[in-house]
Amino acid sequence: MAATADPPALDAEDEKLVTLARSARARSGAAEAAAVRDDVGRTYVAASVALPSLRLSAVQAVVAAAVSSGSDRLDAVAVVGAGDHLSDDDRSLLDDVSVTTVLLADADGRSRPGG
């Protein structure tokens, strides 16, 4: 059986994003949560929304929070949840706001490929 390599260690700022997203997911009980860092270092956090009249992924919710607060360029996003990849819509949205770092993690904060 081949050994699998551990994912590379995250720097402190990226680890903070994963921690914030994990906390938001645990607090809200949502399927997923996300945290973003903008180009001046501010962070925003949101969870997925599943209402009868409104459905947003965590990425959509957190980008909306950041943009509505005045950020127009986001450097990094961490998404915590059960999914192993981002939707095409989420990837397009992250391209719109120039995200260069995408981190995916499970509920325990373990990094996953696919970001």
Q: List the domain boundaries for the chain.
A: 12-112
Q: Which amino acid is at 74?
A: L
Q: What is the CA radius of gyration of the chain?
A: 14
pTM above 0.85, yes or no: yes
Task: Return the CATH fold of 12-112.
Answer: Cytidine Deaminase; domain 2 (3.40.140)
Q: Distance between CA atoms of 40 and 68, rounded to whole angstroms?
A: 16
Q: What is the pLDDT along the chain (115 residues), one digit of tens a residue?
A: 444 555 567 788 999 999 999 999 999 999 999 999 999 999 999 999 999 999 999 999 999 999 999 998 999 999 999 788 899 999 999 999 999 999 999 988 888 766 5
Spell out the alpha helix ranges (H) of the chain.
12-28, 58-68, 88-96
Identify the helix (H) or strand (E) that includes residue 6.
none
Q: CB within 8 A of 93, min separation 6: which ones?
A: 59, 60, 63
